[in-house]
Amino acid sequence: MYERLFNQADASVLEKYVSEDFVYRNPMQDTRGRQQIIDLVAAQREAFTDFRQNVDEVVIDKEAPSMAVSWTVTGTHDKPFFGFPPSGKPIRFSGITLFLWKDGQAVAAWGFSNMHEILGGG
């Protein structure tokens, strides 16, 4: 899902893996539903030339059912992003997203990263 959604900008993958009521909570802003996810991904790809999000590790708890994905984003910060002015510099930040699943689809997620630290300069 990450490869297709973030790196190939293929939002069709959301229909299979993400419920229509999906809520993603993170320090920047809450994202609700598939369309807001599509908009967020588009904003990331617009702000960061050569944007890439790599999955570093996945941990699944089938009993919960939950999943943790650690990831790293790289790119060049060429346009504003959530109030951070473009730096024109290469960036690299990491984070983790914790997912809650129901009936084979993600229904909620919580994201944490060091993006503010990287984009804000410290």
pLDDT, tens digit, 9 for 90 and up, residues 74-115: 999 999 988 889 999 999 989 999 999 999 899 999 999 987
CB atoms within 10 A of CB 38: 15
Q: Which CATH class is domain 2-119?
A: alpha beta
pLDDT at residue 17 is higher than 90: yes
Domain borders along the chain are 2-119
- Using one digit for the tens of pLDDT, what is the confidence trace for 27-82? 878 999 999 999 989 998 999 989 999 999 999 988 889 999 999 999 999 999 88
Spatial distance between the Cα atoms of 15 and 32, rounded to a whole number of angstroms: 14
Strand partners, 102: 105
Parallel/antiparallel/unpaired status of strands 48-61 and 90-102: unpaired
**Strand order of the sheet with strand 31-32?**
31-32, 18-25, 105-113, 90-102, 66-77, 48-61
